[in-house]
Structures are given as structure tokens and as C-alpha cells.
Amino acid sequence: MITFLVCIAVLIIGYFTYGKFIERIFGVKKTRETPAYSHHDGVDYVPMGTNRNSLIQLLNIAGVGPIFGPIMGALYGPVAFIWIVAGSIFAGAVHDYLTGMISIRNNGAHLPQLAGKFLGGTMKHIVNLIAVVLLLLVGTVFVTAPAGLLFDLMNGWMTISVITGVIFLYYLFATLLPVDKIIGKVYPILGALLVISAIGIGAMLIATGAPIPELTLQNMHPGGEAIFPILMITIACGAISGFHATQSPIISRTVQKEQNGRKVFYGMMIVEGIIAMIWAAAAMSLFYGTDLSALIDNGGAGLVVSEVAFTLLGAIGGTLAVLGVIVLPITSGDTAFRSARMIIADYIKIPQLKIMSRLWIALPLFVVSYILTSMDFTLLWRYFGVTNAAISAIALYVGAMYLAVQLKFHWVATVPALFMTMVAFTFIFNASIGFGLPMTMSYVLAGIATGIVLALFAYKIKLNRRIENFKMDEEVSKAA
């Protein structure tokens, strides 16, 4: 219990200290006009208040990841707490803040455009492809997970296929309509439900003196899976998630002032980290060890959610808590498709003012996603995990390059970028869905690959600084 409470406190302190440090490095300009005003179009560029934006951002980024991921990560034991806390403060929140703020500085641009600008034109095309694939995987995962939970909650009186169809229909409307019509109005209410359910679970863990294990670095996974990199792939959204880099530009187009960014981007990642801590602790305390492993194998993380909610909160409270969990994936799935639609539209330069222009881009995405729902959830989650790690590394390199070109302390982004690069490469070399190599060999090859990436990144920094200096020299010459 002490470890759990200390970790929650460290996350909160991290927001007020390291979050402020990152904000100072970035350099907020209070009088700078944001894209919500300079590009106002009544569809995607719409000014909204900070509290509203914060709750929307939280729901956008907090899918099943900060719940299902930590539940599966709980099999490793309290070492999962360390990853959630360190990942959230030094990687995830930095990742979310920089991608959100750099997007604001670039007219609400999405990650592929930013990658093209700061990492080169080739990266724009690569990231476009990876980002759309990631968003399709996210949208699919965030259909199947809530559909299963709703099926169980309704005792099977409505079939999975009907529930899935209803969720897809909602996603279609949320993808096509202006951001302030559904997302802007419904999300704050759903966000309150999410926060209340998480607080309820956390409060009951404390009130009942739940036997949450204390800190140890021992790997307690019953299957002996390696902590690095599998834990980082398993617990993504609760620590660092590349998916967030696809969501932040949605809100960067609605933020009213730059100084709101720390609360909206950095702060909501910290809140997500707290949610992840609560569910990891609940899983460890109620179903620790072999029992938890058996429960996940038999019914998945969704069954653990139901058991935790109804055990701690009773029938009414448990139902509300499960509804709060269902809200998470649905309110991330809809914005996943919305982001995919916006990214594709930006890439092929199709204005989105007319609904038919949005519809013909969105419909093929839903068709492909519906086909993917037939895939095994665990396999989908692994593909999602490694794609997620790769995108998070790329997004951090974008943030690092932005800071480096301006001669600012870029290592706050470069170090976590290198870490996630190592995670992604190690997983790809070792996993059965990758090359299937022994772990030791995977570590060596991943280390070499990460070193090559660092060398290329350092070269790109020098190149971009020369280009920037040349532009400045040209401006001085013209002024003279």
C-alpha cells in the first residue's frame, strides 16, 4: 500500500515540477494566436475552454490501454509501478506535451506533417502509413473491447455483432460531425464518469486496506516473460503511447492559449498514469500471481475489470465503474477514426468542410476495421503495442529536433526517444510476430540499430541547424 500511495504522490509532484521544467524549455508565448482562431473553420478548428479540452484530451488518449495494459502488466509484480511512474513523467507526458505544442506552432499539423518538416520528406510518407495503420488497429481494438464488456454487462441479451454495429455507427457520426457537436458536448460528461469510477476503485483500495504488494524489482510473471521490452509494450497508454501523438493535434486545433498546454497535454497524461496505477494495484491485490494469470487466460482483462469493480464497489458502484471503463475505449476509438480521416485528408490535400469529403475518406476505414474485428484480440494488442512504440519514438524525435534546432535542451526528448527505439527494435527482433530471435541476440541487434538511429539523428540535427542558420543569414541580408 505504501508503494502505491508514494507512486500516486510522485506522479502528482511530477506534474508541478518536471512538467513546469518541460514547459520552460519549450518556451510558451502567451500572446501568440493559436490555430483555433487563425484557422477557425467550424469543423476541426474550434476554440474550446481549457477544462473542456482537458477532459476531451483525457478521453482521447485513455482507451483500454491504461486499464487492460496495467492489468496484464500486473503479472510482472510491483516493477510495473516503476514503469508507469517513470514512463508517465519522463516519457509519456513529455511526448504528449511536445507533440501537442509543436502542432499548435504549426497550425494544428498532424504527426506525419511534423515528421516531414523536422525529420525529412521520406519520414512524412513512412509516418503517414504507420500512423493510419496504428489508428486502424486502435479503432478495431477499441470496438471489440467495449463490445465484449457491454455483452457481459447485459447478460448476453444483445448479440456481440449488434453491439459492434451500434458502436461503429456512433464512430461514424463522431468522425464526420464537427468536433464541438458530439465530442465537445458529450465528452466532458463521460470524462466525469471516467474520473469518478477511477477514484471509486482507488478509494476502496485504500479504505479496505487492500494487500497491494510493496516495491520489488523481481520479475514475478508466471510465464517468465522478460520485463524489457515486453512490459513496455504491454503497458503503453499508462506510461507512453505513440497513439497520443495522433490525438493531440485534435485538441491543438481547439486550444485557446499556449499556456493551457501543460494542463491539457502534460497534465492529462499524468492523470492517465494515475488511472493505470489504480488498475494495476487493483489487479495485483485482488488476483495476484497464478489466479490473475488464469483469469486473464480464461476471460481476458475485461473479466478482471468486472471482478475488480463488483468486488470493491458492489452492484451499483460496480456497474458504474464498468460503464466508466467502457467509455474509455469508445471515446478513444471514435477519435482514432477521426484522426485517421484528418491525416489522410491532410496528406492528399482534401478540404474537410463538406461532409461528403469526410464520408468518402471515413467509410473505407470502417470497412477495413470491421474486417479486422475477426482477429484475435491478443494478437491485435501485440501488433498495436509494437506499432505504438515505434510511433512514440518518432514523435519524440520530432520533439527533440524541434528543440535542438532552436539550441534548446533536446535531451529531455532524445533520451526517451532512444529508450523507445530500443524497446521497439528488441521486440521486433525477439517476438514471434517479428524475427523470433533469442533475447540476448535481440538485445545486441537492437542496441546496434538504436546506435545507428542516434548517429543519423545527430547528423540530421547538424543539417537542420545549418539550414536554419542559412535562412537567418538570408533574412539579415534582405533586411540590410
pLDDT > 90? residue 133: no
Q: What is the pLDDT of residue 184?
A: 67
Q: Residue 400: enclosing H or E segment and its boundaries?
A: helix 377-405
Determine, yes or no, domain membership for 403: no
Domain total in the chain: 1
* Residues in CB range of 301: below 8 A, 6 or more apart: 64, 67, 68, 71, 72
Determine, yes or no, domain membership for 415: no
Determine, yes or no, domain membership for 388: no
Q: What is the pLDDT of residue 471?
A: 56
Determine, yes or no, domain membership for 132: yes
Q: For the segment 321-341, what is each residue's pLDDT rounded down to a tens digit?
A: 777 777 767 777 777 888 888
pLDDT > 60? residue 473: no
Determine, yes or no, domain membership for 82: yes
Q: CB count, 10 Å around CB of 170?
A: 16
Q: For the segment 263-276, what is each residue's pLDDT rounded down to a tens digit?
A: 999 999 999 999 99
d(CA 478, CA 480): 5
SS3 (DSSP) at 410: coil
Determine, yes or no, domain membership for 254: yes
DSSP code of residue 260 = G
Residue range 88-94: mean pLDDT, rounded: 98
* Listed range (45-49, 144-148, 230-234, 398-402) with the worst mean pLDDT: 144-148
Of the pLDDT bands very low, low, confident and very high (cuts 50, 70, 90), residue 312 is confident
Residue range 380-405: mean pLDDT, rounded: 89
Q: For the segment 222-238, what is each residue's pLDDT rounded down to a tens digit?
A: 888 889 999 999 898 88
Determine, yes or no, domain membership for 239: yes
The CATH number given to whatever domain includes residue 132 is 1.20.1740.10
Q: Which residue has the higher pLDDT, 388 or 15?
A: 15
Q: What is the CA radius of gyration of the chain?
A: 21
Q: For the segment 157-172, what is each residue's pLDDT rounded down to a tens digit?
A: 888 888 888 888 888 8
Q: Residue 442: enclosing H or E segment and its boundaries?
A: helix 439-479
Q: What is the pLDDT of residue 333?
A: 76
- Provide the domain limits for residue 320: 2-382
d(CA 128, CA 104): 19
Of the pLDDT bands very low, low, confident and very high (cuts 50, 70, 90), residue 302 is low
Q: Which residue has the higher pLDDT, 52 or 317?
A: 52
Q: For the segment 406-428, what is each residue's pLDDT rounded down to a tens digit?
A: 999 999 999 999 999 999 999 99
Of the pLDDT bands very low, low, confident and very high (cuts 50, 70, 90), residue 475 is very low
Q: Which residue has the higher pLDDT, 37 or 378?
A: 37
pLDDT > 80? residue 200: yes
* Ramachandran area for residue 27 (φ above 0: left; ψ -120 to 50: alpha; else beta): left
pLDDT > 80? residue 61: yes
Contact 338, 250 (CB under 8 A): yes
Determine, yes or no, domain membership for 237: yes
Cell numbers for 401, please give them: 529536433
In degrees, to the nearest 5, what angle opens at C-alpha 95 toward C-alphas 90 and 96? 115
